[in-house]
Amino acid sequence: MRHLRKWLILSHRYLGIALGLVFVTWFASGIVMIYAGGMPQLSPELRRESLAPLDMSAVRLSAAEAAQRALVTDAPRTTMLTVLGRPAYRFGTRTVFADTGETLQPIDGPTARRLAARFIGVPESSIEFLHEVRRPDQWTLTLSRALPLLKFRAQDDAGTELYVSPRTAEVVLATTNRDRLLAWTGVIPHWLYFAPLRLNQPLWYAIVVYLSEIGVVMAVLGLVVGVIRFKPTRPFRFMASIPYAGWMKWHFVTGAVFGVFTLTWVFSGLLSMEPFAWTNATGLEFEREVMTGGPLEIARFPKAEPRAWAALAGDKVIKEVELARIQDEPYYVVRLGFDAKPVRRERLHQPYPITGRVEQDRLLVSATTLSVKHDVFSTESIIERLKAAAPDIPIVEQAVLTEYDSYYYSRLNQTPLPVVRVKFADPAETWAYVDPSMSQVLATVHRLNRVERWLYNGLHSLDFKFWYWSPAWDVGVILLCLGGLASSAIGTVMGFGRLWRGARSAMRWAPRGTPAGRAVREAAPPSPLERA
């Protein structure tokens, strides 16, 4: 038993020395991420605000005519917007001007510079070209498909850097000194999102998973050591029951109080990498065409009528129009201009994607009658389409939710409500969430997704309903992170102190003729006899 106890203590000690700084970094950066979110990105709201108003009176071609002139045969997503001051159709990543049918060619540096200046509202003279980005840098790790990009720096107080796509003639990312500082103190060290490492996906994945697995072992050992070393006194006094003094006692105390949280936190962080087969299981899935009725038919969208469109917009401006097929009918998804405010991103990871997002000043307009659809699509029509897609699978429950449940939710109310929830009796017990305003499947959540939701989001973000929407969550999570940070920092300092003392002791006892012995002798103060 004595040998086992010694083995447990030594294992925890040296694993702590190896991972101490990693845990300190994880806890400290986790606090930053609560408010800073993930990597800098251009939110849909800010992108829409940056778009120039769409002048329907300048549109000369219908979407079908523009696609025919540009020889576009497949258009999974088609939008109409202003590009370089002219109305244009965007078929996927290909842009065709709606006034002449010309295809947009990659823009040059001076044009990109003008776009960057217009984006932040400064003179062109204050925009400096830096270089062309052909390989993802620290801030474009998630924009590899948009490369190449032209990078500019603005001479403003915020230290803004902008990335312009020469292919789409748009600013795709803008970062400031503040954004970059928060990323370097938050998401980058937390996720080990250093560009040279992140670009090597297999190596990055292996390092994060192995560090997390070793961290789980270290935390378990720490809790076990705490139990076997705790010696209750009579009468019971907690501090007197701890067989340590000084900083070791405080490491014991913080580990006892915050150790379980540290264990669940590092284990749930491991689950975010989905290292196990069950975390990658699939349930019932629905293709996009289940709700659309088929691929987009751009021939069903007539050329714009300026007066009718002006009446639709009222006193607002049209920024972007998306062509959509919803329940077999053609619709325009019209996005109007509004005063966009910075929106904090949330839910940096979840075991299932939720694709919908609340949009301000959005109109759904029938392409046939050019009338606004104010009501939602009926629940019956949604259920009918889901049944047709899975005819052999019974539906056990259907409901219209006006409030979030435990698996479809948003702390900042960024996912749409109401939502239709449909539960299926398939082997995976899949639940589907459908947005009735757009007749769009937002998420499908099977049984193992729901388990992972509690094991990851529940243990990592502590997003339990009883406090998740109150300031108590901020206070509680920050206190827990500070406790874990204190325990990790104390252990790390003591661990490195022990290594230092061990190294000095080893060098002190080294033979005098060896390099180590000479180094110790030269560094040591002279003895009284030598001073005499």
- pLDDT tens per residue, range 381-395: 999 999 999 999 999
CA 244 – CA 360 distance, rounded (Å): 59
CA angle 17, 19, 23 (to 5 degrees): 120
The confidence band for 529, taking pLDDT boundaries of 50, 70 and 90, is very low
Q: Are 250 and 490 in contact (CB under 8 A)?
A: yes
Q: What tokens appear for 529 in the block? A: 């006899």
Contact 477, 34 (CB under 8 A): yes
Pairing of strands 127-133, 329-336: unpaired
Query: Is the pLDDT at 511 greater than 80, yes or no?
Result: no
Whether omega for the bond prior to residue 202 falls within 30 degrees of 0, making it cis, is no
| Mean pLDDT of the chain, nearest integer | 90
Residue 340 predicted with pLDDT over 90: no
Q: What is the pLDDT of residue 342?
A: 64
Q: Residues for the chain: how many in total?
A: 532
Q: pLDDT confidence of 371, banded at 50, 70, 90?
A: very high
DSSP conformational letter for 85: T
Sorting pLDDT into bands at 50, 70 and 90, what band is 155?
Answer: very high
C-alpha–C-alpha distance, residues 458 and 269, integer Å: 11
State the Cα torsion 188-192-196-197 to the nearest 10°: -160
Amino acid 377 reads: F
pLDDT at position 238: 86
- What per-residue confidence (pLDDT) applies to 412? 85
pLDDT in tens, 447-484: 999 999 999 999 999 999 999 989 999 999 999 999 99
Model confidence at 233, pLDDT cuts 50, 70, 90, reads: confident
Maximum pairwise Cα distance, the chain: 107
Q: Using 50, 70 and 90 to split pLDDT, how confident is the model at 530? A: very low
Q: Would you say residue 321 has pLDDT above 80?
A: yes
Which of the 8 DSSP states describes residue 372? B
- Over pLDDT 70: what percentage of the chain? 93
The tokens describing 401, both together, are: 């939710």
HEC profile for 163-211? EEECCCCEEEEEECHHHHHHHHHCHHHHHCCCHHHHCCHHHHHHHHHHH
Q: What's the whole-number mean pLDDT along residues 265-279?
A: 91
pLDDT grade for 304, boundaries at 50, 70 and 90: confident
Mean pLDDT, range 25-42, rounded to an integer: 92
- Checking if the pLDDT of 188 tops 80, the result is yes
| Gap between the Cα atoms of 356 and 404, Å rounded | 14
User: Tell me, what's the pLDDT at 93?
Assistant: 85
Q: What value, to the nearest 5°, has the Cα angle with vertex 84 and ends 81 and 89? A: 30
pLDDT value of residue 2: 80
d(CA 501, CA 519): 16
Report the first-to-last Cα separation within the chain, whole angstroms: 53
How many CB atoms sit inside 10 A of residue 310's CB?
12
**Residue 283 · residue 446 · CB < 8 Å:** yes
Q: Work out whether the CA dihedral 511, 512, 518, 520 comes out positive or negative.
A: positive
- For the ranges 50-54, 205-209, 428-432, 510-514, which has the lowest average pLDDT? 510-514
Task: Tell me the residue type at 154.
Answer: A
- 3-state secondary structure at position 131: strand
Burial class (CB in 10 A: 0-12, 13-18, 19+), 126: middle
DSSP letter (8 states) at residue 103: B
Integer Cα distance of 328 and 484 in angstroms = 54
Residue with the larger pLDDT of the pair 505 and 531: 505
The per-residue b/e assignment along 176-193, b for 16 or more CB within 10 angstroms, e otherwise, is beebbebbebbbbbbbeb
> Rounded CA gap, 265 and 260, in Å?
8
CA-to-CA distance for 205 and 223, rounded, in angstroms? Answer: 27
Q: Is 525's pLDDT higher than 60?
A: no
